[in-house]
Structure 1
Amino acid sequence: MIQRFSGMLRAVLQPNLAPNYPSQAAWLVLRLVAGFVMIHNGLDKLSNIESFAQAYVQVIGLPFPIFFSYVAAYTELLGAPLVALGLFTRPAAFGLFSTMAVAMYHHIKVAGLSIPYLELSMLYAAVFFVFVINGAGLFSLDALLAGWLNAMTPTSQTLESVKEKETTLVS
């Protein structure tokens, strides 16, 4: 059970990118910038949640507009720093990608396929989608934790040798 959970956690944390240091440094910069500039979106929503709920959430027909406004705001306030730190990046980026997908839907519903309205939410969505697929990169807390989990989890050879020793001791 623990091994299965550890394997699933490693799969979520392990980045897909090769350890090319200049490329990884660029991923780090993108992650930091995207994470830090996204924080203000959550703060803006919380500064006047009723206004945001009425102008954005109610317009697209979601039920419980205040509730979903809080969900969006806290997804941005919690997810953006996690992306910046590179900690649980895939789940955090998925939440942020989802809020940007809803924002894109709102912009299309209100203004049609108007690029000036869509561009920022499209750009954010694309960046967060890349992090959902690739993970945080080499310079991240995710990579550090995945490496630690790899070192702490016994390999199948080690498990087989332990089982052999157990059967030898029992016989």
Structure 2
Amino acid sequence: MARKKYKKPLPEAELDVTSFMNLMVVLIPFLLATAVFSQVSIQELNLPSGSGGEVADKPKVTIEIMVRKDALEISNGKVITDRFANKEGDYDLSALTAELRALKEKYPEKEDVTVLLEPNIEYNDMIAVMDTVKIYRQEQEDAPPVSEVLFPDISIGDAP
């Protein structure tokens, strides 16, 4: 008669998670303390609405700023009125500011402007132009800087 072999049941192993828990207790506060909290800056834009009618209170003047690779152009929606070529590889934001201030004096009730961008324009250049269009800041010696709101409502699009 053949003998039957019985295997001894293996003892159940207990999982020791104490060292893992100790690691987590130290690691989580360390990660939270050393995390870099980034600041999110939001650029507020007003996109064109789908309605075709215009509000009677708003001026019927159109101001478009076209950001091209080699220049900045100001248009009235039909023709280009001003062109500012790049100086030493950078956009001529001071000339743009001067022209925008003149337009603001001419049309003080005008609040909106359209910024049209060519493809492959750097993000930093777009934000610099938008900041220039929104607010004029003049640094003065021995006095706080003077700020003037130009055109706070900005719409963006593709340049023709």
TM-score, length basis structure 1: 0.26
TM-score, length basis structure 2: 0.28
Q: Which has the higher contact order (CA 8 A, sep 6+)?
A: 1
Larger radius of gyration: 2
| Structure (1/2) with the larger strand percentage | 2
